[in-house]
Amino acid sequence: MQAVSKTYTLANGVSIPSIGFGTWQVQEGPEAVDSVKAALEAGYRHIDTAQGYQNEEGVGKAVKQSGVKREDIFITSKLTNGIRGYENTKKSIEDSLRRLGTDYMDLFLVHWPVPVNFKDQWQHMNAESWRAMEDALKAGKIRALGISNFRKRHIDELLKTAEIKPVANQIRLCPGDKQEDTVNYSREQGMLLQAYSPLGTGKLFEVPELMDIARQTGRTIAQVALRWSLQRGYNPLPKSITPKRIKENLDVYGFELTKEQMDRINALEGVVGYSADPDHITW
């Protein structure tokens, strides 16, 4: 299969492949190496990891072993919740680069806005971490900065001190969990919406409406959900460790959902539950 050629252009001019390979819950070691290598072989050119996933080293090994040039791969990682503040964030960026075996990351995100250990001072601590991220970007160690799981009030607090605005907000987006207020506000601020868990952590496979549309289109439910995500202008990050499904999840550019099918999917509510409230997480 050809490498993904369709891209979005982030607000700072950096191009990002329109689908990425998610690695949340992919175990460090052979599982991470093998699944990321399978993704790159299938044509993915965007790999999404995080310090908190504890698989950056495996991602880095897979990139090196894949034979694909580093400059042809878009790598995202994220600042883990246990780390905040200027110096600690600066060190953690260096640690991520070392684990990934690369001189730069294409996108680096603050993973959650209100970590449990920083609830009383999250605004200040995020601002200090962001300042370290801005300096890393200026030094060429990061190409673009973003956020994850931020809602309007968290975005507004960050923008009070940010010199460089975030260009992406990675949130859970899938049929039944659309977070439209956050989507709309993020877009107003010039951010691309990245969709993690775009398959609803597997719960979408039990939704009758999606089963019906999959029959109509001759596609899998996963392909229907990912096509929906693309047609809404999102940047979906499907995860799988099965080579066959990894390939199938990328085969979504050769068909379109009709307006009626999109409307049916848009009308779904709560079929996969709702996203965690970032103000009340316990991690």
Q: Which pLDDT does position 5 carry in this prediction?
A: 83
Residue 115 CB neighbours (<10 A): 22
Cα 246 from chain centroid (whole Å)? 16
Contacts of 254 (CB under 8 A, 6+ apart): none
Over the Cα atoms of the chain, what is R_g? 18
**In whole angstroms, what is the distance from residue 270 CA to residue 276 CA?**
13
Distances 216 to 134, 222, 255 between C-alpha atoms, Å? 47, 14, 12
Q: What is the pLDDT of residues 63-74, one digit of tens each?
A: 999 999 999 999
Query: Does residue 2 carry a pLDDT above 80?
Result: no
Phi, psi at residue 100, to the nearest 5°? -75, -15
Question: What band does 209 get if pLDDT is binned at 50, 70 and 90?
Answer: very high
76, β-bridge pairs: 48, 107
Query: Looking at residues 24-53, what average pLDDT do you find?
Result: 94
Q: Which pLDDT does position 163 carry in this prediction?
A: 98
Domains, the chain: 7-202+233-255 (3.20.20.100)
First to last CA, the chain: 39
Query: Does residue 45 carry a pLDDT above 70?
Result: yes
Q: What is the pLDDT of residues 241-274, one digit of tens each?
A: 899 999 999 999 999 999 999 999 999 999 999 9
Q: Considering only CA atoms, which of 54, 58, 63 is closest in space to residue 32?
A: 58
Q: Considering only CA atoms, which of 22, 15, 19 is closest in space to residue 48?
A: 22
Phi, psi at residue 135, to the nearest 5°? -65, -35
- Give me the residue label for tokens 């460090």: 28
Query: Looking at residues 20-43, what average pLDDT do you find?
Result: 93
Query: Does residue 162 carry a pLDDT above 60?
Result: yes
240, β-bridge pairs: none
Query: Does residue 219 carry a pLDDT above 80?
Result: yes
Question: What band does 4 get if pLDDT is binned at 50, 70 and 90?
Answer: confident
CA 151, 197, 241 angle in degrees (round to 5)?
Answer: 150
Q: What is the pLDDT of residues 113-130, one digit of tens each?
A: 999 999 999 999 999 999
> Among residues 53, 185, 196, 234, which one is catalytic?
53
Query: Looking at residues 141-160, what average pLDDT do you find?
Result: 98
Q: Considering only CA atoms, which of 271, 259, 256 is closest in space to residue 209?
A: 271
Percent residues over pLDDT 90 in the chain = 94
Q: Give SS3 for 269.
A: strand
Question: What band does 3 get if pLDDT is binned at 50, 70 and 90?
Answer: confident
Cα 40 from chain centroid (whole Å)? 16
**In whole angstroms, what is the distance from residue 110 CA to residue 147 CA?**
5
Strands 21-22 and 7-9: unpaired
Q: Where are the alpha helices (DSSP H) in 29-113?
A: 30-42, 56-66, 86-100
Distances 135 to 32, 123, 157 between C-alpha atoms, Å? 30, 19, 19
Query: Looking at residues 194-202, what average pLDDT do you find?
Result: 95
**In whole angstroms, what is the distance from residue 16 CA to residue 107 CA?**
9
Q: Which pLDDT does position 1 carry in this prediction?
A: 55
53 catalytic per annotation:
yes
